[in-house]
Amino acid sequence: MLPERRGIFKYGECDVVFSIKDGHARYGDKTVFENFNWTIHRGECWALHGPNGSGKSLLLSMVCADNPQGYANDITLFDRRRGTGESIWEIKDAIGYVCPEMQLYFKSNDSVREIIIQGMRNSLNRYRKSTTEENEVADEWMKILEIGHLADRKFSELSSGEQRLVMVARALAKQPELMVLDEPLHGLDREHKKRIMSIISELAKKNGASLIFVSHYLEEVPECVKFWKEIGDRAFQNNGSHRGHTEGKKIF
């Protein structure tokens, strides 16, 4: 049983959670992807697939308003086109994001409990003193993920797998409108993988949240995922079919 969500969905009535039209991205002189189109409607759960170097992480950084190349693209987030005066902080507050780079570069001397609480708050009030209610909710999430024994430990003292669990808890504890999860299960044991997959599906069902999920392993894709998107294969992008399926159709 998940804790009750705090507050309301700011974008709860939106139709298009994310879209990119004729998308393109470059690293220096190298084109990473081009002519890329994708639309995610509210409540849809997608798996994003592609080989290493195909631009998955770069695309997700555009989704999360973390990459300036987003302004060079026709991107819509929560029914509003990027570059039309939208609040970057409000967008970030509606997204729960996990990626390997975030864990690698995350620096904090706060306790695990405080790190999870910070993820539950909006961006402009992230570092104030925690309340009793916030402590209780954080403790519930740590209990669900079986990391309660880490509550008072510092992030830098944890193993890689423990750090991954804390980052997942930080992203999911606010029960976001859009979950963007890039290899969130990497390095975890089987039981924790199953538990997190179940939690993701429950959040999608309970809150009508949308999901972008990246994994190289089909068995790690949560049950709630019904649609998929391929990136990095130009032939596939052109004809829209792969292994007998049609891109964007239900696959599970």
* pLDDT tens readout for residues 19-73: 999 999 988 888 999 999 999 999 999 999 998 889 999 999 999 988 888 889 9
For residue 231, give the nearest of 53, 11, 110 by alpha carbon. Answer: 53
Domain assignment of residue 182, given as a range = 17-94+176-246
Residue 184 sits in the same domain as residue 79: yes
Task: Note whether residue 103 is domain-resident.
Answer: no
Tell me, yes or no, whether 88 and 119 share the same domain. no
Q: What does the pLDDT look like over 192-247, one tens digit per residue? A: 999 999 999 999 999 999 999 999 899 999 999 999 999 975 433 333 333 333 45
**Are 49 and 164 in the same domain?**
no
User: How many CB atoms sit inside 10 A of residue 238's CB?
Assistant: 9
- Whether 4 is covered by a domain: the verdict is no
129 lies in the same domain as 241: no
Say how many domains are in the chain.
Answer: 2
For 139, 204, 236, 239, the CA distances from 170, given in Å and listed in that order, are 12, 17, 35, 39
Structure tokens at 176: 């976001």
pTM: predicted TM-score of the whole model, two decimal places: 0.88
- Answer for the pair 62, 70: CB distance below 8 angstroms, yes or no: yes
227 neighbors 62 (Cβ within 8 angstroms): no
